[in-house]
């Protein structure tokens, strides 16, 4: 027998059919692929990129540990009861024939389930001696549900002709829709003819950790599904004799158990310590199987062995299952379900069934009210009336005189209602007996639903949410819901952590999309980055809010976390606490009636907020080429032509096969190109080499234009190339000066003409101004002077950096070194972004910056003789990057911290024997004259350094006799001396 979980789905191939399938070219399933878990998991990962089984396991482990520590004797020994409903989905056969199983077979399957889960199975005596001490009872009893969702008595068995002949796991939503009872109160077990060789599958329990977002959304398929052939006892089942253990196995998955080999091999665990590791699944019943240097537990219900071989669950499996039962919301709620108790039985009891939908609407304002009446009492009822109230005003009363026998029901149809005014209408139904009989139970005599006539709004549309009107809230659970806060529209999830999985809807006005060419929806949102963000989706309706079936946005694709987690209720305070999502609605442009439902699902996280909602003409054109960035830059030239590579991108919606590039200087055209050699599809980038004639002036700016032809006006996008004829060479050491009168020939390159790098003398730093630049991905450069490194063997770069990383945005800082004597910047020597760049974290702006010192060894590049460095910032509209103390020094390792002194240099060691070191720290680089003198003023050694700043200088003093000497330093600005002692 083969059983395999898909984390949520246990997809199992029926062995008999497997042999048949492998002979068919259509399927091409090899023996190694008889369980399609890898393919299904790949599909699941694509659809839910945040899904993480490991995170669920971490949560489950923490719950188990907590429970063992705090309450070892708590409900572990208390038996819990779970109500079961069997949905028998058949093909029209008589009861007891084919898939329409007999009640006796269903009864026996329920007995088997209870035997296996409580160690009452007759084959416990066959458990191997090695494992008998580990065997455990789960103390869980499964019973037939005693009342249905409407409060009527039930046998716990529902028989429904299916819409399909058989069902694959991909069609499980179709199968469960054939017959479904709320998964919070009923353990749904669907029994049908399963396609694809599947024996069955089960849904894993939901948790409150990141990675299982889809579990709550799957409440409509939550339960267990079994092929009718392997349901209960069936000696005629193929490959092995069914003894009802397929349901036992799948029920283990339903309560959180994994396969005992962990679906991975010896190194993969099933998170139960007392189940030995196994390399793979087992078939047949090889009791001596050893795969991971220990005896495999092939008799465990969570292996793939034959039914007759299975007979054990373990203590750790019990701990795992009971942890899930006592903590996972929909498993816990089963143990207190009203279905555990039979409904009260009265002689006279007339009640109303639930309405189909608590909320509805239509474009016309017409509504057809109807309600179903059921005689739930023992005696027949002959006369009763059903009333319809609209907003608490009696609209219509219908008297029925037909006899309604016990258990019978009748649907009552009222006159058509027309709601002309916009807004919400409560539709209230009530049933009363007529005559001398009194209804002995009245709590089932009223039902309510709501009709919402949604207001229309013109486009473009903008809502800032300082009030709700004309939006409409749908709040079926009458718990937390959308409301207005000081910061905008939100849901107070933080204070409502008991309502896991509940959905809160708010409905927009209706828009006519035929009045807009290219529609775009955008909203501004805020939410902390909890382990599981709240589930946010936006659906579109084309029938004025009656149905919302078109999912246009989901945060499983676009993360909506904007701020770091907090232990208190989250209220957005800072600019970076908010961000914007834009949704292209071009496919809706011909729809005359569209409204949106924003659905927030409670994931036990913090509050979620929206403060702007817009529907307007998209900024995205049908045809547009834009310049994205410079790939190579040489804005500093020495009498040569300017060259470079730019990247352009098709940012429109249509293919573009022709566009122009023009280069202008002082609005005069100096060069142009027609690009028609390739077709650019939407989103495609390409690189273009640019050669520009020798500039007519030493300092100026070129404008690079890319022109896209259009049926209307041509679309022109520009990038700017400021340049300077800068051939001045500097010698190291060198430090960036923040003196406004001169910056040592440092140069700012700002192709977008936005804020860019600026010098801040108050901070003694340069600032990227990323917080002011809205164009994400734009770049700015800070370029060093041309350095003559021909006279040094070693060269280092040190600088201090400060960057407070926000939660959502991430700036990138890179350093390039030039090739070809400072002409191009192609060699990347430093790159950090996000967390690796950060010196602190937070969306707020701190007054005191936190700095980190960085060192880059430039010695491998001194062979080039002349170099430049470019410091590039890539903006993300987050926080600013600050740099200070950018210094080139002569050396191969970062210098130690300079002593806390105002002196321009220090000497060490002192006394000295052979070699003395000078640690220099000047504010301005300049030429220096050094002398070593004895106490009589005799010059023992002297030399000139063409430029000093902050480097180390070593002197060989081994030839000096023992004694006291004086080191003298003279520059144009300073004169300083220091004594030192030579010892022998």
Residue 977, both tokens: 């001396």
**Residue among 759, 802, 805 at smallest CA distance from 782:** 759
Q: Catalytic residue, from 57, 210, 213, 250: name it.
A: 250
Q: Name the DSSP letter for residue 570.
A: -
C-alpha span between 806 and 802 (Å, rounded):
13
**Cα separation of 947 and 929, whole Å?**
10
CB-CB contact of 157 with 106 (8 Å) = yes
Q: Report the alpha-carbon distance of residue 982 to residue 132 in Å, rounded.
A: 84
* Per-residue tokens: 866: 């002349």
| Spatial separation of the C-alpha atoms in residues 459 and 591, rounded to whole Å | 13
| Distance (Å) of CA 232 to CA 86, 283, 365, 757, 835 | 12, 20, 52, 74, 56
H helix runs in 786-895, sequence order: 834-837
With b meaning 16 or more CB within 10 Å and e meaning fewer, what string describes 552-565?
Answer: bbbbbeeebbbbbe
How far does Cα 129 stand from its chain's mean position?
A: 48
Name residue, tokens 């002949």. 165
Report residue 690 as tokens. Answer: 């640019």
Contact by Cβ (8 Å): 326, 67: yes
User: Counting Cβ atoms within 10 Å, is residue 264 exposed (0-12), middle (13-18) or buried (19+)?
Assistant: middle
What's the CA gap between 280 and 302, in Å, rounded? Answer: 12
Contact 103/157 with Cβ under 8 angstroms? yes
Contact (Cβ atoms closer than 8 angstroms) between residue 636 and residue 723? yes
Contacts 24+ apart (CB under 8 A), 21-26: 21/197
Closest CA to 965 of 956, 973, 957, 954: 957
H-run or E-run covering 107: helix 103-117
250 is catalytic: yes
Strands 852-857 and 915-920: unpaired
Count the Cβ atoms, other than its own, within 10 Å of residue 655: 12
Q: Rounded to whole angstroms, how far apart are CA atoms 769 and 293? A: 61
For residue 241, what are the β-bridge partners?
Answer: none
C-alpha separations of 636 from 387, 477, 733, 782, 824 in Å: 86, 67, 21, 12, 9
Cα R_g (the chain), whole angstroms = 38
Strands 786-788 and 729-730: what pairing?
A: parallel
Say how far apart CA 649 and CA 498 lie, in whole Å.
49
Check if the beta carbon of residue 867 is closer than 8 Å to that of residue 761.
no
DSSP 137-202: ---EEEEE-SB-TTS-B--SEEEEE-SSSSB-GGGHHHHHHHS---TTT-EEEEEE-BSTTB-EEE
Cβ contact 90:161 at 8 Å: yes
DSSP string for residues in 774-803: -STT-EEEEEPPEEE-TT-S--EEEEEEEE
Cβ atoms 535, 567 nearer than 8 A: no
Helix (H, G, I), strand (E, B) or coil at 837: helix
CA distance 804 to 844: 9
| CA atoms of 50 and 530, how far apart (whole Å) | 13
Q: Name the residues annotated as catalytic.
A: 250
């Amino acid at each position: 027998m083969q059983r395999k979980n898909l984390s949520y789905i246990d997809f199992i191939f029926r062995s008999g059919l497997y042999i048949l399938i492998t002979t068919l070219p259509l399927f091409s399933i090899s023996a190694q692929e008889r369980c399609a878990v890898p393919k299904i998991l790949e599909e699941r990962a694509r659809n839910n990129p945040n899904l993480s089984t490991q995170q669920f396991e971490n949560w489950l482990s923490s719950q188990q540990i907590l429970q063992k520590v705090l309450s070892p004797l708590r409900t572990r020994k208390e038996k819990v009861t779970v109500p079961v409903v069997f949905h028998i989905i058949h093909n029209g056969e008589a009861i007891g024939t084919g898939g329409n199983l007999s009640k006796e077979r269903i009864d026996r399957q329920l007995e088997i389930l209870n035997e296996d889960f409580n160690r009452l199975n007759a084959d416990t005596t066959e458990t191997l001696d090695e494992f008998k001490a580990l065997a455990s009872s789960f103390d869980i009893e499964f019973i037939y549900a005693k009342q249905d969702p409407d409060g009527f008595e039930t046998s716990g068995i529902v028989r429904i002709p299916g819409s399909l002949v058989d069902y694959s796991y991909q069609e499980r939503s179709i199968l469960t829709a054939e017959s479904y009872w709320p998964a919070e109160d009923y353990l749904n077990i669907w029994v049908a003819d399963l396609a694809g060789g599947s024996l069955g599958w089960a849904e894993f329990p939901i948790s409150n950790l990141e990675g299982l977002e889809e579990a709550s959304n799957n409440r409509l398929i939550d339960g267990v599904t079994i092929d009718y052939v392997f349901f209960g006892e069936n000696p005629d089942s193929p490959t092995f004799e069914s003894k009802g253990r397929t349901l036992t196995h799948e029920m283990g998955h339903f309560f959180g158990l994994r396969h005992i080999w962990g679906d991975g091999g010896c190194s993969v665990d099933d998170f139960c310590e007392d189940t030995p590791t196994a390399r793979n699944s087992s078939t047949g019943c090889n009791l001596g199987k050893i795969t991971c240097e220990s005896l495999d537990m092939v008799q465990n219900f969570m292996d793939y062995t034959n039914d007759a071989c299975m007979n054990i669950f373990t203590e750790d499996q019990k701990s795992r299952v009971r942890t899930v039962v006592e903590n996972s919301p929909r498993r816990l709620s089963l143990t207190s379900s009203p279905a555990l108790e039979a409904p009260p039985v009265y002689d006279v009891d007339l009640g109303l069934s639930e309405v189909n939908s608590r909320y509805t609407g239509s474009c016309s304002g017409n509504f057809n009210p109807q309600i179903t009446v059921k005689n739930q009492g023992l005696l027949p009822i002959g006369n009763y009336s059903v009333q319809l109230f609209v907003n608490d005003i009696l609209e219509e009363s219908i008297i029925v005189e037909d006899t309604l026998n016990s258990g019978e029901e009748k649907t009552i149809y009222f006159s058509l209602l027309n709601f002309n005014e916009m807004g919400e209408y409560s539709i209230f139904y009530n049933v009363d007996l007529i005559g001398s009989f009194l209804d002995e139970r009245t709590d089932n005599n009223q039902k309510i639903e709501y009709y919402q006539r949604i207001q229309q709004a013109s486009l473009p549309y903008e809502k800032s949410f300082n009030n709700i009107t004309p939006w409409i809230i749908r709040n079926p659970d009458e718990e937390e819901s959308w409301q207005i806060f000081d910061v905008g529209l939100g849901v107070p999830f933080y204070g409502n952590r008991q309502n896991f999985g509940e959905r809160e809807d708010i409905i927009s006005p209706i828009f006519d999309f035929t009045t807009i060419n290219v529609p775009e929806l955008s909203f501004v949102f805020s939410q902390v980055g909890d382990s599981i963000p709240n589930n946010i989706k936006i659906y579109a309706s084309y029938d004025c809010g009656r149905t919302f079936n078109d999912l246009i946005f989901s945060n499983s694709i676009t993360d909506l976390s904007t701020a770091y987690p907090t232990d208190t209720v989250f209220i957005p305070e800072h600019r970076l606490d908010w961000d914007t999502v834009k949704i292209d609605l071009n496919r809706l442009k011909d729809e005359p009636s569209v409204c949106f439902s924003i659905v927030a699902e409670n994931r036990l996280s913090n509050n979620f907020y929206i403060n702007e909602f817009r529907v307007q003409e998209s900024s995205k054109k049908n045809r547009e080429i834009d310049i994205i960035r410079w790939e190579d830059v040489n804005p500093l030239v020495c009498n040569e032509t300017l060259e470079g590579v730019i990247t352009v991108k098709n940012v429109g919606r249509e293919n573009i096969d022709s566009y122009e590039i023009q280069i202008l200087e002082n609005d005069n055209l100096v060069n142009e190109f027609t690009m028609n050699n390739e077709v650019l599809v939407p989103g495609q980038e390409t690189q273009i080499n640019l050669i520009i004639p020798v500039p007519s002036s030493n300092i100026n700016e070129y404008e690079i234009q890319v022109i896209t032809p259009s049926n209307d006006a041509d679309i022109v996008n520009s990038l700017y190339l400021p340049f300077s004829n800068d051939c001045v060479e500097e010698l190291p050491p060198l430090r960036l000066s923040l003196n406004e009168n001169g910056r040592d020939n440092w140069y700012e390159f700002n192709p977008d003409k936005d804020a860019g790098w600026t010098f801040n003398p108050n901070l003694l730093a340069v600032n990227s101004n990323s917080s002011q630049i809205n164009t994400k991905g734009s770049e700015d450069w800070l370029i060093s002077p041309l350095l003559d490194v021909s006279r040094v063997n070693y060269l280092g770069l040190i600088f201090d950096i400060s960057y407070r990383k926000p939660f959502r945005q991430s700036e990138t800082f890179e350093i390039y070194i030039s090739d070809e004597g400072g002409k191009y910047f192609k060699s990347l020597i430093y790159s950090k972004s996000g967390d690796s760049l950060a010196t602190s974290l937070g969306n707020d702006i701190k007054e005191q910056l936190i700095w980190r010192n960085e060192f880059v060894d430039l010695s491998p590049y001194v062979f080039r003789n002349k170099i430049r460095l470019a410091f590039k910032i890539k903006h993300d509209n987050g926080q600013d990057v600050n740099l200070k103390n950018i210094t080139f020094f002569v050396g191969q390792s970062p210098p130690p911290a300079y002593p806390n002194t105002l002196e321009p240099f220090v000497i060490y060691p002192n006394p000295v024997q052979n070699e003395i070191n000078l640690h220099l720290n000047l504010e301005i680089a300049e030429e220096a004259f050094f002398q070593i003198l004895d106490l009589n003023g005799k010059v023992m050694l002297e030399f000139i350094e063409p430029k000093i700043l902050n480097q180390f200088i070593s002197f060989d003093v081994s030839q000096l006799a023992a004694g006291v000497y004086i080191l003298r330093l003279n520059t144009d600005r300073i004169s300083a001396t220091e004594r030192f002692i030579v010892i022998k």
